[in-house]
Amino acid sequence: MMAACETVRGFWDRLLGRCFRNFPCLSDRARRSSLGLKAVLVLLHVVFVGVLYLLDTDLIRKTREMPWYMGAYLLLVLATLVQYFITAFSSPGYVIDAMAAGSEMHTTHVNSSRNSMQHASRNGTLISSLNNSQLGRNNPRMNSSYWLKLVMELYPPGSSSRSWTCLYCNLIQPPRAKHCHDCNKCVLQFDHHCVWLGTCIGKGNHCRFWWYIFAETIVCIWSGVLYISFLRSDLMNVWWKIMIVVVLFIGLSLCFIFLLLLLLFHTFLVLTNQTTYELVRRRRIPYLRGIPERVRPFSKGICRNLYNFCCSFDSIYNLEAVPTLEELEERARSYTCTDILTCRCC
């Protein structure tokens, strides 16, 4: 018996080793867990939709009579899965990438300035100037000093640089950035780490995340309508069919409640230009401690917040400064009738 177990274990280890060699991404336990959750989520969509077609024979007839109706439903499910994978594999915007982008812009600006100043110089002098610029691009000390100067302008005067430095990455964090322990990177405008997506939600993919949970909520509502119509039909005359449909409908209802609350919560965050981390851990963020809780320091009005979230074509590496004391006092001022008439909140 022990010999048989050892043989099976050896075969299993060899099989896993061959699998890890062919697919290196599976050798990481965290990545395996992320891929497993993605497979589970896709399987849930297939089960909830497939059971309807397997048990509800009337649904197939409706599909033939009204192909546009069920075609739109299946297209929505497919679009939701596509949006899920787009969000899962999109970058939330990392501080290290923002540093590289800022250094590249700085180097490009320096090169263009030197080229314009030495346009009339001899070729040898011009090549020497360009070589010096190239050396500056590859100098990490020059890049880090430029990044420190850039970040210092985003914080209020007198702030301590110790609170800006990440204890894990040793990087200078701009406002609203935070280190994610799951990704082991500092994320711009960090919101949270989503286990189901296997990635952080930050400045680069928060909009995609909102549209994903919006589409998922619509799928739950549409699926719930189909399940209710199936439960009320004359085909529900077998007890095991009733049990399967009822269990799935209860699970679908719980998913809908969770998604609806999540959608409303993130809609509130979008309208007020906040993140989950800033809302939950506000007292732990040094530059937000002295600000009253009713004041949304980064809010620019509902309309401007919506535009920046959905329609802005600015780079995700455009950093946001902490508001000045005058701006915070203006936002803390109580609303008057004039403010309401002039749509100050927008």
| Residues with a known catalytic role | 194
Strand partners, 172: 165
Choose among 67, 47, 51: nearest CA to 235.
Answer: 51
Matching residue, tokens 């809010």: 299
User: How many other C-beta atoms lie within 10 A of the C-beta of residue 195?
Assistant: 11
DSSP notation for 286-345: GGGTTS-TT--TT---HHHHHIIIII--S-TT---PPPPHHHHHHHHSPP-HHHHHTTTT
Choose among 332, 80, 327: nearest CA to 221.
Answer: 80
DSSP reduced 3-state for 46 = helix
Measured between alpha carbons, how far is 192 from 215 in angstroms, rounded to an integer?
20
DSSP notation for 186-199: EETT--EEETTTTE
DSSP reduced 3-state for 182 = coil
Residues 56 and 235: beta-carbon distance below 8 Å: yes
Query: Running DSSP on this structure, what letter comes out for residue 156?
Result: P
C-alpha dihedral (311, 309, 291, 184), degrees to nearest 10: -140
Q: Identify the helix (H) or strand (E) that includes residue 143.
A: helix 140-152
Measured between alpha carbons, how far is 151 from 144 in angstroms, rounded to an integer?
10
Measured between alpha carbons, how far is 20 from 24 in angstroms, rounded to an integer?
5
> In angstroms, how far is the first alpha carbon of the chain from the final one?
74
Backbone dihedral angles phi then psi of residue 97, each to the nearest 5 degrees: -70, -35
